[in-house]
Structure 1
Amino acid sequence: MARTVKRAFKYRFYPTHEQTAELARTFGCVRLVYNRALEERTRSWYTEQRRMSYVDTSAALTAWKKTDELAFLNEVSSVPLQQALRHLQAAFAAFFDKRAKYPRFKAKKKSRASAEYTRSAFRFRDGNLTLAKMGGPLDVRWTRPLPAGAEPSTVTVSRDAAGRWFVSILCEDGITRLDPSDKAVGVDAGLTSLVTLSTGEKITNPRHERRDRERLTRAQKDLARKEKGSANQEKAKRKVAGVHARIADRRRDFLHKLSTRLVHENQVVVIENLNVRNMVKNHPLARAISDAGWRDLRAMLEYKADWYGRELVVIDRWFPSTRTCSECGTIAGKMPLGVREWECDGCGARHDRDVNAAKNVLAAGLAVSACGAGVRPQRESSRTGRSASKQETHGATRGLPRL
């Protein structure tokens, strides 16, 4: 059974000098409009106790274009400017729903340089993509084909800190759901082994940042020696950003392959609800935790499970998976990170710390998947006062029996 989803396809492209100048102007105008609109909305609330909507900021944009100070906004396509206002509206909606903090201003040197074009602002014919205000198509490197008969609805152009140009094309794609499987796996995240599966398999942490640390150190030292504000400093900055981009690309590629494998091989995937934001506050481990990419792995598992008709179960972070004996259920005392193997006082079973945790994660997840929290005897309550066996599921398979 196929399912239609919105899917973005990202490609690298190489603009001409004229296209580079046009896109740079567009990025600057998008940032200016976003910041002006944010300033107006903030001022309106604090001085008049009045909320401005997207319609109000759109009317303000029209007025800005008629002034001598901001007349240059007419030189770029109007669509990316309107999209910037929509993005600001979405940011405020997330803030009012308490899903995000108050929107922040976009800094020229720190914010992502991007512009979004909708259908009225680009033309896609015979594999050629042409944006509004440009005389010729972009030199896109089509490393993989778009879906047959694809009609892009949105095109986002961006430039990263390393100076690379990318175009992201959003279109509909058909995803074929996988055949039902009777397999399930528990996943325990770690640093020595990136993940340990309940089957006993350990997947080694590639440590991409550590492998390129020497190269990164040399580039950063070279940057520190450059004169501030000079052209050489900008070159050195791009070199540092290039090393970071290489690390991020390799990490993302590895996580995509790992998440795809887990989803394809198992009907149910069970993971822990790790609070990465607080975990990186542990200074000695912050670098290694950030390099592991646990949050990205969870995000990939969530949408891929939804795509392919699998189920992702996320158990409570306070569930004592490491200290619980997977054979008899006895909960051991404190267990420092240095303890990699331990013996159960109840039944005498000897456990590998990570494999045992993965088995307990799987058992708790299957209980939730089958009948909901509370199926297993509650041996230890979570600090939130809820059942230790978990709370949320993602991508539940409809029409198929759960394990």
Structure 2
Amino acid sequence: KKDDLPYMMGLKLRLYPNWKQEKILWKNLNASRFIYNQLLANSWTDSRIIKNKLDKRYPIPEAYWRYDKNGKVIKKSQKRPTGLARITAQRYPWLGDDDLDSDMFTNTEVNYKAAWNMFRKVHTAGKPKFKRKSRPVQSYSTSNHYLSATVKKHGGAPSLYNGSIKFLDHNHIQLPKLGPTKVKLHRSLPTNRLVRIATVTIKHYAAGQWTVSLLLKSDEPFHQALPNTNQAVGIDLNTENFLTTSDQKQVANPHYYRALKKHLAKHQRILSRRARRAKKEHRPLWASKNYQQEKLIVAKIHQRIRNRRLNFLHETSTALIKSHDLVVAENLKSKNMLKNHALAMSISDVGWRT
């Protein structure tokens, strides 16, 4: 069972769908965004107080009541549907498309409820907002299922190879509604223990990349504890170099944004010119091929900067953790420091918050 597997690990892989699979992915992305926005739009009338008032003032007519086999009234039919039950294929026929994953509906509602819980429990998290179609990152989640008959045929225990979502070989994964899809594995899979796939999230980035993130659960730890080094270090973050340690060692600031700043500015000017030309000719930007091509180039430059910075931060933090038992850093409020226009670009470029 899921509760018997306390250890978890995230595995993020690059996904390479063909044009048919990409079409199905976009259907699920758009449907997930629509369902989330509808749940948010109905949140006020779906609240318990407002719903009870509506049920008393405007009761459901008897013509809409449903009955079971024994002729008794089904109590649910006497009350207004809320949440996901209100967003049906009868009301929105395109939600009945065969290419839509059924688990995507329930996972979207789970994510919606989690957003409200974050707002109530963590006060720094704002209210849930509507998801725009123009968001640079689009995503939807689905779930993995294990059939007892299939599990018995393949070893008798859940694994990475006998669920509804499973690895077919080193380069292909089976996904709902997509079938075998090409992926790029950057690490070896844990096969010498009981490992099951739980939830799966598929994302699309502005640079045109697709990724699939798998939540793996196991009864044993995925990583062994690091040996004690009996070493402690304090780090001071600054803009001249990335950081200075308490033993006077320095890590240089790579300045990834500054290195590509001129190249990025050049393509942003080209993008702006093409946008002005499209507006002058009364063409929408989504129909302007030249604008969309240049927009993709700008997104790829931003992605290159982001990947380089993340790689540098992960390598630096991992080196500090492996060589020390205790790492002490100051609690910087980088959000407040970004208000200083003279240091804002340098602080953002160095990536203190990450």
Q: State TM-score, norm by structure 1.
A: 0.67
Residue 261 of structure 1 deviates from its aligned partner by 0.6
Give 1:133's aligned residue.
Answer: 177
Q: Report the equivalent of 1:23.
A: 25
Cα deviation code 1:292-325 (max 9, x no counterpart): 11111xxxxxxxxxxxxxxxxxxxxxxxxxxxxx
1:147 aligned to 2:190?
yes
Counterpart for residue 246 of structure 1: 304
Report the alpha carbon displacement of residue 112 of structure 1 after superposing the two structures with TM.
2.2
The equivalent of 1:401 in structure 2 is: none
The CA deviation at 1:151 is 2.7
Determine which of 69, 82, 85 is the counterpart of 1:59: 85
- 2:208–2:296 CA contact under 8 A, matched in 1: yes
Equivalent position SS for 2:183:
coil
Please show how residues 350-389 of structure 1 align to structure 2 within 5 Å.
none
User: Structure 1 stretches (4+) deviating beyond 3 angstroms?
Assistant: 42-47, 68-75
- Cα–Cα, structure 1 residues 122 and 23, in superposed 2: closer, same or farther, change >3 Å? farther
Shift of 1:105: 0.2
Report the Cα distance in structure 1 between the residues aligned to 2:349 and 2:212, rounded to whole angstroms: 26
State percent identity of aligned pairs.
31
What secondary structure does 1:295 align onto?
coil
TM-score normalised according to structure 2 size: 0.76
Is 1:113 equivalent to 2:138 in the alignment? yes
Higher relative contact order (CA 8 A, sep 6+): 2
Q: 1:86 and 2:110 equivalent? A: yes
- The question of whether the paired residues in 1 share the 8 Å contact of 2:32 and 2:105 is answered with yes
CA contact under 8 A between 1:5 and 1:175: conserved in structure 2?
no
Q: Distance in 2 between matches of 1:236 and 1:137?
A: 32
In 2, the alpha carbon distance for the partners of 1:215 and 1:50 equals: 59
For 1:142, give the aligned amino acid: L
Give the 3 Å change call, closer, same or farther, for CA 162–111 of structure 1 in structure 2.
closer
Q: Write the letter of the residue equivalent to 1:282.
A: N
1:294 match: secondary structure: coil
Which one-letter code corresponds to 1:218 in the other structure?
A: K
Task: Tell me, yes or no, if structure 1 residue 95 matches structure 2 residue 119.
Answer: yes
Match in the other structure for 1:169: 214
| Aligned length, in residue pairs | 288
**Equivalent in the alignment of 1:180:** 228
Q: Judge conservation of contact 1:9–1:146 (CA < 8 Å) in 2.
A: no
Residues 261-286 of structure 1: per-residue CA shift (max 9 Å, x gap):
11111111000111111111111211
* Runs of at least 5 residues in structure 1 that lack an aligned partner in the other structure: 297-403
Per the alignment, residue 124 of structure 1 pairs with: 166
For 1:50 and 1:250, how far apart are their aligned partners in 2? 54
Equivalent position amino acid for 1:96 in 2:
R
Are the structure 2 counterparts of residues 202 and 29 from structure 1 closer, same or farther at C-alpha, using a change threshold of 3 Å?
same
**Aligned equivalents of 1:145 and 1:240: distance in 2?**
33
CA–CA distance in 1 between the matches of 2:19 and 2:210? 13
Cα distance between partner residues in 1 of 2:258 and 2:51: 51
